Each structure stands twice: as structure tokens, then as C-alpha cells.
A and B are shown apart, each in its own frame.
Chain A
Amino acid sequence: MNQTDTKNNSRSLIVRILNGVDSKIAKLEEFIMASGVILMALNTIANVISRFVFNHSIIFAEELNSTFILLVTFAGMGYAARHGRHIRMSAFYDYMPDKARKRLMTLIVAVTAIFMLVLAYYSVQYVYNVYSKGRIMPALGIPVYLTYLWVPVGFFITGIQYALTTVKNISEEGIHLSTDLKEQAPPEIEV
């Protein structure tokens, strides 16, 4: 009895710390997503204005946009994993009995986690290669690898999200599409 209590306590402490880290990451993702999209708009508009008013384009506008879109994509990917919002074709899945659905969902999130973590590993390798070649963005003048740094992080966070969902599916009742989305009636799509 006592033993389980302490175990529960220490476990809940770890869970609390993890939850704290997790919500910080979520906030960071939200910030990158929203500000990345806004910065893309500002940057593109600034380029238009510069072309009309000063008669020449901002030479690094496209490079900046490429950087922003990478940030937004990999932040958005993690965020969507957290909220179970990645697009999937669930037509057959939806018709399966509960037990089969739970098994299949556990398999889906586990395999997805593995792929994401493997890609995180290879993207570290890729970023390191780009770094050692010392490529520089021609207009911005900053090293290319800097714009890629968020990529492995994004894959890693997404992989962890799916891994946690796998654990949740194994250890808890019900079917979990993501760490915070449990399957109930048909999930609602916000457009």
C-alpha cells in the first residue's frame, strides 16, 4: 500500500514536471506558428511596398519567407500531433469494432512515433552536414544550417507526442488520437 503511494507520488511529480515542460513547448509552438505566419505576410508586403516606392525588391525577402515556412511547418506539425489534427483517411477505421480500433490506433501512433523519431535522427545528420559544408544564404548572408535547426526539434517533438499517445493508449481506457484528444462521438472538425 505504502509502496504504491510513494510510487504514485514520485510518478505524479514526474508527470507534473513533464506536463509543465509540455505546456511550455505547446506555448512556444503556438507562438512560432502565429508569428511565423504574420511575419510571412509582413515580409511579403514590405517587399511589394519596397518595389513600388523605392523601385527595387528586398533581395532577401524570399530567403526570409523560406525560413518562416520551415518554422511554421515544423511547429504546426507538432501542434497538430498534440491535438490529433493531422489529416487521415479514417473511413475504414471508423467502421471497426471498438476493440480493433483501439489496437489499430495504438499501432498507428506507435509506428508514427518511430518514423518521426527516425526522421529526427536523420535530420540532425542532415543539418550537421549542411553545417560542415558551411553553406551560406546568398542574400541574407547567414549560414543555411541555422534556418534548419528547428527541423529536427519539430520531428522530435512530434515523435514524442505520438510516443506519449502510444503509452496512453496502452495504459489507459479508451482510444486516444493524441495526448489530449480522446475518441468520443465523431471528432469535430474546426475549419
Chain B
Amino acid sequence: MALTMFLVMAALLLLGFPMMIPLIAAATVGVVELFGDIDKAEFMVQQMLGGIRPASLIAVPMFMLAADIMTRGHSADRLIDMVMVFVRHIKGGLAVSAVTACALFGAVSGSTQATVVAVGGPLRPRMLKGGYKDSFILALIVNSSDIAFLIPPSIGMIIYGVVSKSSIPELFIAGIGPGLLIMLLFSIYSMIYATIHKVPTEKAATWWERFVAVRRALWPLGFPVIIIGGIFGGIFSPTEAAAVSVLYALFLEVLIFRSITIRDFYSIAKSTGMITGVVFILVGAGAAFAWVLSFAQIPQELLGAIGFTEMGPTAVLFVISLTFFIGCMFVDPIVVILILVPIFAPAVQSTGLDPILVGTLIVLQAAIGSATPPFGCDLFTAVAVFKRPYIEVIKGTPPFVFILLSVSVLLIFFPQLALFLRDVAFDK
């Protein structure tokens, strides 16, 4: 039965069906085989609605809405300007600015695609003028945007948290360490690249320019304060922090910067609503799929067959990483998390591994996979946003993917990279 379900799913997925259908079809096959009766499809509907309803998932549309407002307004530009005046004069300064700006924008939004647009849009032309090759720029932007997936708020973390029933605030804080490490390594690579390719260095900003840029960025810097400070100060739940950042984004862009109008807000809410529909129907279909799997005890069977629980923690982490990495090379990371987490979750529990560590590793793989050729979905975002041929977008990616994979290995051997901050913040 497991085999039929996976074959149906894989076939429909590869043929290019809308992604909810492979999940729903596989679940239907499962239901028919389990109960011998399609009428039990009613339970599927029940599971779908149950998957969509959890209150903590509301954080996803809220963070998307806040990011949407900021991307159309001035917040992103001001943050980028602030980063640039401080680092543009070092070797590879523009590239380092792009990496840092991605991490910073990741701290105000939870989506990699919003980051590609918000940071890549304004910085790519400047880097082209600054003497960087386009293939390097595109790879840099696509991969650095993945840092946004790790730095809180993170949509991937929220969905993992809900599916695996682990603490979203703890996941959020665990993502910071690996996120900053990637930022550092990408910056170093950028400096080496600039040295080798003799990219000219930019003129340093004056202290007055720096002062002005920081003052202009003060308002947008309120986002990380609200989100990170609010959640870890115990003031807000992640969902509340998300709603408050929507309010704050509106306050900034409508009242302070006057970059969008209330009418724009309605159309932004509309587009967030549509993306929410697209993502949440997948969440629902994923829940139905996971329910059938666990009802038929497929995860135990599957993982038992490869001796998963007797492998020891390091091997388990490697297997999980590899599975998610490969999965995300082909399919949207949210779908992969929805399908694979329920398979691994029971086994992870029995190995005694920290679900927060596993979650951080999984979200890291999701980030890497979605920027890895051939089918990583961020690559296609870049193709669409920058209107560049696919081949040029992927040409510069190998060094970045190599760095990201090294970080995964480091994280497996030194879990403290992720867990140190968590332990400090939550007194563990």
C-alpha cells in the first residue's frame, strides 16, 4: 500500500499536477486500500480542515502580509542602505552588503522569495555596475535569501513546529546561530571572489552618511525588536508578533513613509490571501496524507526496514538531512516538510534526539534544496524576477551549495551551533 501511495504521488508530481493533487490522490488511494471504501473520503476532508485550523499557523499569512507591505514600501531599501554605508568599502563590499541585507531582511520577513525580490531587486543593478559577474550575483542573491528561512521569523519553522508539535519560539531562536554562520561564510567567500576576480572596491561612506543611513533605518529596525524581542521577552506568541508586525509595517509605510495607500493595502491583502490559499490547501492535503500514513503505520514500517532507530543519532541526522535535501531539490520545501516530517517524527522521538535540533537541520536542508539545481524553486523565482536564463542563474551556485552543505555537517557534529542560544534563552 505504501508503495502504491508513493508511486501515485511521485508520478502525479513529476507530470506537473498542481501539488495538492499528488497529496490528495495518494491519500485517496490509501483510504480506499485501508477501508475498501471511497466513502471514507469524508475523514480526509475532516483531516484537511483539521490541518488548516491550528491557531499557530495564522502566523504564516500574517508574516507574509507584513513582508508584502514592506517589500512594496521603503523599509527594505532603508535597511539595505544602512548595511551598505558600513561595509561597501571593504573587499567585495557590495556582495557582503547583499549577504548581510538578506540576513537582516530575513529578520523582518519569513520568506525567501520576498527576500529575493526585496534585496535582489535594488542590489543587482548596483553590483553589475560595481563589476561583478551576473552569474555570481544571481547565485549570491538566491542563496543568501535562504538565510531568511533560518533567521526568525521563518515560515518553514512555523510549519515544522505545527506538524511536529514542537515549540515555535525555540525553533526560531535555534535558527539564528546557523543563519549567522552562513552569513559569515558567504561574506568570506564574497571577499575571496572579489580578490580573485579583481572587483574594484567602492569608496567608503563618510561618518555623516552613516549617521543619516542609520537614522533612516531606525524605523524598519523596529521589526526585529518586535518579533525577536516580543517573542523571547514572553510578550507575544509568534502569531501575535506576526500580527503586530503587520500593524507596524502599515504604520511605517502608510503614515511615516507614505509609500503605500490604504487602497494598496487592500490589494496587498488580496495577494497575501491568494498565496495563503495556495499554501494552506497544501497544508490541509498534507495533513490528510500524513493521517493516512500514520493510520496505516507506514512510517514505522518504512523506517524499520532501513533500521533507522538502531542507527545512532549521527547517522539518523545524516539520513534525515539527505532525505530532505533531495526532496527539496525537486519539490517546494513546504510540501516536503508536510510529507516527510510525519514520517520521521515518531522515530525521532524514540531516538531521543532534540526535535528542535532536527527541525533546524530540516529547515536548513529545505533552504539549501530550494536553491539547488535542477529544480530548486528559488532558482525559478530568480528566473522570473530577474528575467535571466535558467542556466545563468545556476552557473554560480556550486560554491554556495558547498558552503551550505558544510554548515549542515557542522551542525550535525556541533548541535550547539543551534542549541546554544536556545539553551540560554529558555534556561535549559
Tell me which of A2-10, A13-21, A86-94, A166-174 binds B.
A86-94
Name the one of A38, A48, A93, A186 contacting B15, with C-beta atoms under 8 angstroms.
A93
CA distance A145 to B25 in the complex (A): 26
A190 to chain B, nearest CB (A): 7
- Please, which residues of chain A bring their CB within 8 A of the CB of B182? none
B283's closest neighbor in chain A, by CB? A73
Tell me which of B166-174, B380-388, B399-407, B416-424 binds A.
B380-388
Tell me which of B50-58, B82-90, B91-99, B212-220 binds A.
B50-58
Name the one of A32, A40, A88, A104 contacting B243, with C-beta atoms under 8 angstroms.
A40
Does A106 belong to the interface (CB within 8 Å)? no
Q: In the bound complex, do residue A89 and residue B246 qualify as a contact, i.e. CB atoms below 8 Å apart?
A: no
Q: In the bound complex, do residue A108 and residue B15 qualify as a contact, i.e. CB atoms below 8 Å apart?
A: yes
Does B254 belong to the interface (CB within 8 Å)? no
- Please, which residues of chain A bring their CB within 8 A of the CB of B57? 69
- Please, which residues of chain B bring their CB within 8 A of the CB of A91? 16, 374-375
Does B272 belong to the interface (CB within 8 Å)? yes
Does B19 belong to the interface (CB within 8 Å)? yes
Residues of B208-250 at the interface with A, using a CB-CB cut-off of 8 Å, are 236, 239-240, 242-244, 246-247
Tell me which of B152-160, B263-271, B301-309 binds A.
B263-271
Q: In the bound complex, do residue B53 and residue A86 qualify as a contact, i.e. CB atoms below 8 Å apart?
A: no
CA distance A34 to B266 in the complex (A): 6
- Please, which residues of chain A bring their CB within 8 A of the CB of B375? 89, 91
Q: In the bound complex, do residue A92 and residue B15 qualify as a contact, i.e. CB atoms below 8 Å apart?
A: yes
- Please, which residues of chain B bring their CB within 8 A of the CB of A74? 277, 281
Does B204 belong to the interface (CB within 8 Å)? no
Q: In the bound complex, do residue B284 and residue A73 qualify as a contact, i.e. CB atoms below 8 Å apart?
A: yes
CA distance A87 to B13 in the complex (A): 11
Residues of A73-122 at the interface with B, using a CB-CB cut-off of 8 Å, are 73-80, 83, 85-93, 104, 108, 111-112, 115, 118-119, 122
CA distance A11 to B239 in the complex (A): 50
- Please, which residues of chain B bring their CB within 8 A of the CB of A78? 277
Q: In the bound complex, do residue B42 and residue A48 qualify as a contact, i.e. CB atoms below 8 Å apart?
A: no
Does B4 belong to the interface (CB within 8 Å)? no
Does B114 belong to the interface (CB within 8 Å)? yes
Does B21 belong to the interface (CB within 8 Å)? yes
- Please, which residues of chain B bring their CB within 8 A of the CB of A125? 42, 45
Given contacts A48-B240, A80-B274, A129-B42, is CB(A148)–CB(B49) below 8 Å? yes
Q: In the bound complex, do residue B19 and residue A186 qualify as a contact, i.e. CB atoms below 8 Å apart?
A: no
Given contacts A41-B247, A48-B240, is CB(A104)–CB(B273) below 8 Å? no
A32's closest neighbor in chain B, by CB? B273
A151's closest neighbor in chain B, by CB? B49
Q: In the bound complex, do residue B14 and residue A44 qualify as a contact, i.e. CB atoms below 8 Å apart?
A: no
Q: In the bound complex, do residue A122 and residue B270 qualify as a contact, i.e. CB atoms below 8 Å apart?
A: no
Name the one of B45, B58, B335, B384 contacting A69, with C-beta atoms under 8 angstroms.
B58
- Please, which residues of chain A bring their CB within 8 A of the CB of B13? 89
Q: In the bound complex, do residue A191 and residue B45 qualify as a contact, i.e. CB atoms below 8 Å apart?
A: no
CA distance A38 to B276 in the complex (A): 13
CA distance A90 to B332 in the complex (A): 12
Q: In the bound complex, do residue A37 and residue B280 qualify as a contact, i.e. CB atoms below 8 Å apart?
A: no
B236's closest neighbor in chain A, by CB? A48
Given contacts A37-B272, A69-B61, is CB(A85)–CB(B280) below 8 Å? no
B18 to chain A, nearest CB (A): 4
- Please, which residues of chain B bring their CB within 8 A of the CB of A83? 274
Q: In the bound complex, do residue B280 and residue A45 qualify as a contact, i.e. CB atoms below 8 Å apart?
A: no
Does A70 belong to the interface (CB within 8 Å)? yes
CA distance A142 to B113 in the complex (A): 39
A82 to chain B, nearest CB (A): 10
B30 to chain A, nearest CB (A): 14
Q: In the bound complex, do residue A191 and residue B16 qualify as a contact, i.e. CB atoms below 8 Å apart?
A: no
Of A41, A74, A118, the most chain B CB neighbours within 10 A belong to A41
- Please, which residues of chain A bring their CB within 8 A of the CB of B281? 73-74, 76-77
Q: In the bound complex, do residue B18 and residue A86 qualify as a contact, i.e. CB atoms below 8 Å apart?
A: yes
A137 to chain B, nearest CB (A): 11
Given contacts A72-B273, A87-B278, is CB(A66)–CB(B55) below 8 Å? yes
Does B17 belong to the interface (CB within 8 Å)? yes
- Please, which residues of chain B bring their CB within 8 A of the CB of A80? 274, 277-278
Q: In the bound complex, do residue B19 and residue A86 qualify as a contact, i.e. CB atoms below 8 Å apart?
A: yes
Q: In the bound complex, do residue B65 and residue A41 qualify as a contact, i.e. CB atoms below 8 Å apart?
A: yes
Q: In the bound complex, do residue B65 and residue A92 qualify as a contact, i.e. CB atoms below 8 Å apart?
A: no
A189's closest neighbor in chain B, by CB? B384
A117 to chain B, nearest CB (A): 12
Q: In the bound complex, do residue B18 and residue A87 qualify as a contact, i.e. CB atoms below 8 Å apart?
A: yes
CA distance A33 to B384 in the complex (A): 25
Q: In the bound complex, do residue A186 and residue B383 qualify as a contact, i.e. CB atoms below 8 Å apart?
A: yes
CA distance A182 to B270 in the complex (A): 22
CA distance A122 to B246 in the complex (A): 36
* Pairs A–B under 8 Å by Cβ, sample size 15: A35-B269, A41-B65, A44-B58, A44-B240, A48-B240, A72-B280, A86-B278, A88-B19, A108-B17, A115-B21, A123-B45, A129-B42, A189-B385, A191-B384, A191-B385
Chain B: residues with CB nearer than 8 A to chain A? 13-21, 24-25, 28, 39, 41-42, 44-46, 49, 52-55, 57-58, 61-62, 65, 113-114, 116-117, 236, 239-240, 242-244, 246-247, 266-267, 269-278, 280-282, 284, 330-332, 335, 374-375, 380-381, 383-385
Known contacts A37-B276, A75-B277; 4 additional CB pairs below 8 A are A34-B273, A104-B16, A115-B24, A188-B384
